[in-house]
């Protein structure tokens, strides 16, 4: 199993920079040649906003953000834009890179279609972003695997926030587990809480 590349310099003091997501890849149908691709989670990073005529907005390309976090600009993987309020987080949009975070995360389209509406409709909360970076070099995953990760994150995100801004890859399963996964509202049983703890969900 190839080792993942070192994480970029993290100047944010993020508490989640050491977390990882693993995806497996089979080469040429050979079960003995299974490779584990280890993605790393970095964040949450506050997204700088500016104010004009009492309206807050995120500047196109968000240069101040990259000034604060230059080490992630050339990285690839998936990213999750959302809001932090109190001790919780709410995902708003999930994307993947074709080239790099720096060239794709804060484009005019992403801001206008996904970030700005959420910013306008959110009363309290700080906009934040997480990066899920792919390993580099010989351990780099194929582009299709980054797409698989994006689909997985979108489906998890929809379960957390049904108003997730993503349009594609929202195929949510039509089943649930009461108190654990898509279980609706109501008091969570002790059994469900312990089950979630055991399963890490």
Q: Is pLDDT above 90 for 16?
A: no
Q: Which of 54-58, 73-77, 109-113 has the lowest mean pLDDT?
A: 54-58
Q: How far apart are the first and last CA of the chain?
A: 26
Give every CB contact of residue 69 below 8 A, 6+ residues apart in sequence: 10, 11, 12, 45
User: CA separation (Å) from 178 to 161, 191, 192?
Assistant: 17, 10, 8
Tokens of 95: 């994307």
**Cα gap 128→105, rounded to integer Å:** 12
State if pTM tops 0.85: no
Q: What pLDDT digit, counting tens, does each position of 96-138 carry?
A: 999 999 999 999 999 999 999 999 988 789 999 999 998 887 7
For position 87, what pLDDT does the model report?
82
Mean pLDDT of 160-186: 79
């Amino acid at each position: 199993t190839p080792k993942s590349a070192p994480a970029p310099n993290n100047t944010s003091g993020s508490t989640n920079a050491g977390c990882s997501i693993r995806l497996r890849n089979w080469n040429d149908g050979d079960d003995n040649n299974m490779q584990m691709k280890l993605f790393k989670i970095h964040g949450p990073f506050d997204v700088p906003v500016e104010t004009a005529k009492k309206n807050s907005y995120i500047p196109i390309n968000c240069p101040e953000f990259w000034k604060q976090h230059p080490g992630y600009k050339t990285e690839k993987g998936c990213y999750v834009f959302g809001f932090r309020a109190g001790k919780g987080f709410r995902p708003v949009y999930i994307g993947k890179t074709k080239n790099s975070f720096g060239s794709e995360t804060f484009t005019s389209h992403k801001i206008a279609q996904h970030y700005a509406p959420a910013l306008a409709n959110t009363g309290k909360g700080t906009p934040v972003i997480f990066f899920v970076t792919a390993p580099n070099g010989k351990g780099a995953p194929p582009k299709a695997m980054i797409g698989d990760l994006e689909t997985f994150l979108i489906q998890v995100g929809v379960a957390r926030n049904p108003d997730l801004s993503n349009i594609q890859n929202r195929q949510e399963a039509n089943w649930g587990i009461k108190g654990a996964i898509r279980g609706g509202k109501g008091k969570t049983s002790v059994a469900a809480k312990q089950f979630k703890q055991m399963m890490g969900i």
